Structure 1
Amino acid sequence: MTRRIVQLLVGLVLYGAGCALTLEAGFGVDPWTVFAQGLSIHTGIGIGWITNIVGFLVLLLWIPLRQRPGIGTVANILLVGTSIQATLAVVPPVQGVVPRIAVFVAGVVSVAFASGLYIGARFGPGPRDGLMTGMHARLGWPVWLCRASVEVTVLIAGWLLGGTVGVGTLVFAASIGPLVHLALPLLDTRRVSSRAALRSSTAGAAVAGDGSGRS
C-alpha cells in the first residue's frame, strides 16, 4: 500500500510537470491542455488552476454516468494542475528550436512514464478517463469513439479560445499511447506483486526440494 500511494503521488506530480514542459516548448499540447490554455487566456487564471477546476467540473459529469471516483481520481484533480502551475513558475522560457524540441520530448516521455505510475497504482481513473469509460458503459459506444468525441470537442473549443494547437499536438496524440503501453507493464503494482509472489513461491519450493533431497 505504501508503494502504491507513493507511486500515485509521484506519478500525478510528474504528469503535471510533463504537461508544463510541453507547454514551455510551444509546439502544441494535448487537447485538454489546449482547452485549459484557452480558458486561461480569457479568464486570467493560471493554466494549472484551470486544469484543476476543469477536472472538478468533469467529475460532476460522472454523476449521470453513475461512475464512482476513487482516491486516485480526487488526487488527480488536486495535484496535476498544481504541478503544472508550479513547474511553469520555476522553468524559465526556452529559446531556440533544438532546446524546445528537447523540452517537448522530455515532456511527452514524462507524461507517458507518469501515466504508467499513476494508472499502475490502481487507485481509480482520472476524471477525464473516467468520463470516457462512463460514456462507454452508459451509452454503449466504443471506448475509442468516446475518447475521440470528447477530445476533438475540447481541442476545437480550446483552439477557438486561443490555445496552442500545432505539430506537437499531433506528435503527442500519436506517441502517448505506445509510450504508455511500454511503461504500464513495468509499473503496474498488481503485476509486480504477482511476479514477487511467483519468485517467493519458486524460492520456497526450491528450498523445500533441497531439504527433502538431503533428508
Structure 2
Amino acid sequence: MTWITVRRAVQLLVGLFCYGFAIGMMIQAHLGVSPWDVLGQGAARSSGIPFGIVTVLIGALVLLLWIPLRQKPGIGTVLNVLLIGPSAEVCLALVPAPDQLWARVLLFTGGLVLLAAATGVYLGARLGPGPRDGLMTGMHRRFGWPVWAARTGIEVAVLSAGWALGGTVGLGTVAFALLVGPLVSRTMPFFDIRALGPLPGASRPRPVGQDGIA
C-alpha cells in the first residue's frame, strides 16, 4: 500500500465527515434547507409519501441519471451515503442552534464554506462522488461545462422544482444554490490528488483541467 493510497483513503473519510458536519451547521442556523431538501419536502407534500422515502427515491433517480452521463460509482459513492448522515448528527449533537440572527448567519456561512471545502477534499481523492455531486462531475466531463456552472444549474433547477411542489425556501436556501457552485470550483483543483503524481495502477498521469477534473 503506497502513501498515495493511504492519503486518498484519509482524504475521502475526512472530506465526507466534514461534508456531513457542514450540513449540520447549516441546519442549526435555521436559515433554510438545501435545494435538494426543498425538493424532498415539496415531493413529499404533493405525493403524500414520507420525506425519508422520497429522499431515497430521489437518490435512486439521480443515480439513474448517471447512465447517460457515463458516470461511474466508486467506494466514495457508497461511503457518501453511509457517512454523511451520521456526521451531520455529530454536529447537531455538538453545535447548539444560536438565537441571534448574526450568529445564525455566521454559522450558516461557516457551514457553506466548510461544505465547499469538504466537497473538494472528498472529490479530490478520486474514489467516487456522491449521487448528487456525481451529476456535477458527470456534466462537466460529458458536456465540458465548468464545474461552477454545472453545480449552480443543478441547484437552481432543483430549488425551482422543489418550490413549485410546495417546498419551504429560505434565504439560506437561495444563498446555497447560488454560491456553492463557484465555491466548489475553487476547492476542487486545490485538493485534487492527481497534483501529487500518477495514481496507483495508472500507466501515465492524466492532465488536470482548470476545474480539477481530468
Q: Same fold (TM over 0.5)?
A: yes
Q: Check the 8 A contact 1:24/1:88 in 2, yes or no.
A: yes
Structure 2 CA distance for aligned equivalents of residues 189 and 64 of structure 1: 26
Q: Check the 8 A contact 2:40/2:51 in 1, yes or no.
A: no
Q: 2:160 aligns with which of 156, 161, 182?
A: 156
Q: Check the 8 A contact 2:151/2:181 in 1, yes or no.
A: no
Aligned-partner residue type, residue 32 of structure 1: W
Structure 1 CA distance for aligned equivalents of residues 17 and 55 of structure 2: 13
Q: Give the aligned partner of residue 187 of structure 1.
A: 191
Map Cα deviations across residues 121-168 of structure 1 (whole Å, 9 max, x no partner): 111222123235546777x69567765664334213433555442322
Matched, 1:95 2:81: no
Q: 1:15 to 1:53 in 2, by over 3 A?
A: farther
Displacement after TM superposition at 1:91 (Å): 3.4
Q: 2:29 aligns with which of 22, 25, 28?
A: 25
Q: Check the 8 A contact 1:35/1:155 in 2, yes or no.
A: yes
Structure 1 CA distance for aligned equivalents of residues 86 and 55 of structure 2: 8
Structure 2 CA distance for aligned equivalents of residues 116 and 133 of structure 1: 11
Q: Give the aligned partner of residue 110 of structure 1.
A: 114
Matched, 1:75 2:44: no
- Look up the SS of the partner of 1:27 in the other structure: coil
Structure 1 or 2: more helix by fraction: 1
Displacement after TM superposition at 1:32 (Å): 1.5
- Look up the SS of the partner of 1:158 in the other structure: helix
Q: Give the aligned partner of residue 61 of structure 1.
A: 65
Map Cα deviations across residues 90-142 of structure 1 (whole Å, 9 max, x no partner): 4333211011011111101110110111111111222123235546777x695
Q: Give the aligned partner of residue 198 of structure 1.
A: none
Task: Compute the RMSD of aligned alpha carbons.
Answer: 3.3
Tell me, which stretches of 5 or more residues in structure 2 are unaligned? 198-214
- Once the two structures are overlaid, the 10-residue window that deviates more, 145-154 or 173-182, is 145-154
Q: Give the aligned partner of residue 173 of structure 1.
A: 177
Tell me, which stretches of 5 or more residues in structure 1 are unaligned? 195-215
- Look up the SS of the partner of 1:61 in the other structure: helix
Q: 1:88 to 1:114 in 2, by over 3 A?
A: same
Structure 1 CA distance for aligned equivalents of residues 165 and 56 of structure 2: 18
Q: Check the 8 A contact 2:152/2:179 in 1, yes or no.
A: no
TM-score (norm 1): 0.69
Q: Check the 8 A contact 1:135/1:146 in 2, yes or no.
A: yes
The structure with the larger Rg is 1
Map Cα deviations across residues 146-197 of structure 1 (whole Å, 9 max, x no partner): 6566433421343355544232233223432343343333322221x24xxx
Aligned-pair identity in percent equals 52
- Once the two structures are overlaid, the 10-residue window that deviates more, 155-164 or 118-127, is 155-164
Q: Give the aligned partner of residue 120 of structure 1.
A: 124
Alignment coverage as a number of residue pairs:
190
Structure 2 CA distance for aligned equivalents of residues 178 and 2 of structure 1: 29
Q: 1:163 to 1:72 in 2, by over 3 A?
A: same
Aligned-partner residue type, residue 8 of structure 1: L
Q: Check the 8 A contact 2:76/2:130 in 1, yes or no.
A: yes
Displacement after TM superposition at 1:45 (Å): 5.4
Q: 1:176 to 1:132 in 2, by over 3 A?
A: closer
Q: Check the 8 A contact 2:31/2:170 in 1, yes or no.
A: yes
Aligned-partner residue type, residue 131 of structure 2: P
Q: Check the 8 A contact 1:19/1:33 in 2, yes or no.
A: no
TM-score (norm 2): 0.69
